[in-house]
Amino acid sequence: MTKRRATISRLRRREISRKQQRDADTIFLNAQIITLDNRRPRAQALAIEHGHIVKIGTDREVLSVAGKDTQVRDLDGAAVLPGFTDCHTHLVKYGIELYGANLRKATSISEIQSILRRQAEKMPPGTWVLGYGWDQEKLSERRLPNRFDLDAAVSDKPVCIYRVCRHICVANSITLQLANITRTTTPPIGGVIDHHDKTGEPTGVLRENAMDLLSSYIPALDSGELRKAISFALRKAVSAGLTSIHCIVDQPQHVRALQAMNEAGELLARIYVLIPDDWLASAGEIGVSTGFGDEMLKIQAIKVFTDGSLGASTAALETPYSDSPDTRGVLIHSQDQLNSIIESASRQGFQVAIHAIGDHAIAMALTAIENARLTVPRSDKLRHRIEHVSVLNPDLIRRIKQARIIASVQPHFIPSDPWVPARVGHERAKFVYALKSLLESGITMVGGSDCPIEPINPLEGISAAVASATKDYGERISTQAAVDLFTKNAAYATHEEKLKGTIHRGKIADLVVLDRNPLVVSREQIRKIKVLATVVGGRIVYASKRFQTIKASNVRHRLAQTHS
């Protein structure tokens, strides 16, 4: 006991003497600090202590808080911004993809085959070979792969490969046998099993709900594998400059894996978990609501679906699709169901993040939030958000503003979705991805990727928001506004605008170091900017080779240099 007290007091003494010396842990000098804080938009240097920004100013001003143990880094003119936040990812799914075979870059079926062959060699007998991200539009053969293509690559292990959209998969013969899919199998409602024209045998191509025929056979990753998979995804994320990630989960073991990683100190970036609405009752029972967790891992919001996607013509529109006049898309809930979910989430103190893409779905989401504002007074303080908000019109924009809803957008959909005018026609297309209209009406807009569907790199998102507007759809915004989506606006979405999102004294040291300042380079150059380092709570979680060569110098040496 005495011994323990002695240790504590020694620690306290050290703590007190540290404070008196005002020693910073780290100082970045000779940088272009872009604070995103209007009171002081630019600075030259900053100091970090105990994970917080303790001083901002000129090199000389900031060096005044240097002590003998301070790590001083001369950034040689690099740009420092608040770390980026991605407000819409499926991070665990992305990790699982990275754990499997990556087929995103495949340009031919034979390339897919050799990737699968290599993957199969790494796996022990009996395990599944899973691949993700192929797109027949990119394959020289311009056709879907089939079971025979896969059999030629891997014939002794079950194989299943998913198209980039995840609406189609292809299985090899072993997989079809395991799942007992034959020429006579009836596909589930909403699913299609492709058959060979002549033989009638399944080709291995399973569409939409027919993919469910495999799900009970594909083994889930065990907890160790899951952690490894999430680590892969996190490493990609921090190397892209992300310091905070909103992570949509749909399985309890994903939350358990994140929590285990948090305990082990393996979370490289802050994680905000969005949980499915069917967990609402159990969360309510134990009193979990928005903000539950700690500074690295938080339960943030309830994710609710109202419709599908524009790509699959399942987003709910007010009037039929222009290219398929027999459908207006699908609805996941009735208005009454949606109202009751949003109302009970609000009552429990949960922010809601409502997936709504079609104009009809957005109107329903608005009605549900408007209803909750009337019945649950605290609802307004929860900063509810609508995810995607794709097909808009002036009336919907007015209602979003009126109800103070956060518009959570994914600018990279603009370059990825050239089929928008075909799907919805030219009139409606004008208000698809209407970033500028949302911005100009004063709505708080936050940015995300929807990774793994789109690249997790926020600079790609920023670049898409400023540069890839077409005349038919997708509005362009300024680089400054686009950067705000992934930084200070994102901090508002988690009620943390006082804690992060800008570079300000007292805020947490979540930073990204870039080789160039995105606010001054041309729009075309933004996506070519390199991330040199990523800092989360003062800890360098990613350092490029170039950054590693910047040796942290001895401060006395440094002081001597500046004085001479």
- Binding interface with Zn ion (CB under 5 A): 450
Q: Which is nearer to Zn ion, 450 or 510 (CB)?
A: 450
Residue 49 backbone dihedrals phi, psi, to 5 degrees? -140, 135
Q: What angle do CA 504, 510, 516 make, to 5 degrees?
A: 90
Min dist. Cβ of residue 420 to Zn ion (A) = 17
Q: Which is nearer to Zn ion, 453 or 508 (CB)?
A: 453
Helix then strand count (H, E) for the chain reads 21, 25
Q: Which is nearer to Zn ion, 407 or 540 (CB)?
A: 407
Residue 319 near residue 296 (C-beta atoms within 8 A)? no
**What are the angstrom distances between the C-alpha of 79 and each of 124, 479, 510?**
46, 15, 14
Q: Which is nearer to Zn ion, 307 or 450 (CB)?
A: 450
Min dist. Cβ of residue 90 to Zn ion (A) = 6
Q: Which is nearer to Zn ion, 73 or 384 (CB)?
A: 384
Q: Pairing mode, if any, of strands 511-514 and 79-82?
A: antiparallel
Structure tokens at 172: 């090899």
Min dist. Cβ of residue 450 to Zn ion (A) = 4
Q: Which is nearer to Zn ion, 303 or 430 (CB)?
A: 303
Q: Which is nearer to Zn ion, 417 or 450 (CB)?
A: 450
Distance CA 219, CA 178 (A): 12
Q: Which is nearer to Zn ion, 385 or 476 (CB)?
A: 385
Structure tokens at 217: 């056979």
Min dist. Cβ of residue 303 to Zn ion (A) = 9
Structure tokens at 116: 């699968």
Min dist. Cβ of residue 248 to Zn ion (A) = 6
Min dist. Cβ of residue 167 to Zn ion (A) = 14
| Residue 241 zone, left/alpha/beta (φ > 0; ψ -120 to 50; rest) | left
Q: For the chain, how far is it from start to end, CA to CA, in angstroms? A: 52
Q: Partners of 272 in the beta sheet?
A: 246, 298
Q: Which is nearer to Zn ion, 88 or 227 (CB)?
A: 88
Q: Is the dihedral of CA 335, 338, 344, 347 positive or negative?
A: negative
Min dist. Cβ of residue 449 to Zn ion (A) = 9
Min dist. Cβ of residue 333 to Zn ion (A) = 17
Distance CA 228, CA 142 (A): 34
Q: Which is nearer to Zn ion, 74 or 450 (CB)?
A: 450
SS3 category, 289: coil
Q: What angle do CA 419, 240, 507 make, to 5 degrees?
A: 120
- Among 297, 301, 299, 300, CA closest to 537: 297
Min dist. Cβ of residue 315 to Zn ion (A) = 13
Min dist. Cβ of residue 385 to Zn ion (A) = 13
Give Cβ neighbours of residue 68 (< 8 Å, ≥ 6 apart): 23, 555, 556
Min dist. Cβ of residue 304 to Zn ion (A) = 12
Query: With 0-12 CB in 10 A as exposed, 13-18 as middle and 19+ as buried, what is 198?
Result: exposed
Q: Pairing mode, if any, of strands 445-447 and 531-536?
A: unpaired
Lookup result for tokens 């990753």: 221
Residue nearest to Zn ion (CB): 450
Give Cβ neighbours of residue 192 (< 8 Å, ≥ 6 apart): 206, 207, 208, 210
Q: Which is nearer to Zn ion, 305 or 431 (CB)?
A: 305
Distance CA 435, CA 445 (A): 8
Distance CA 73, CA 71 (A): 6
Q: Which is nearer to Zn ion, 36 or 168 (CB)?
A: 168
Q: Which is nearer to Zn ion, 149 or 450 (CB)?
A: 450
Structure tokens at 477: 């915004």
Residue 168 near residue 137 (C-beta atoms within 8 A)? no
Min dist. Cβ of residue 282 to Zn ion (A) = 23
- Among 509, 548, 507, CA closest to 25: 509
Q: Pairing mode, if any, of strands 26-29 and 45-49?
A: antiparallel
Min dist. Cβ of residue 361 to Zn ion (A) = 14
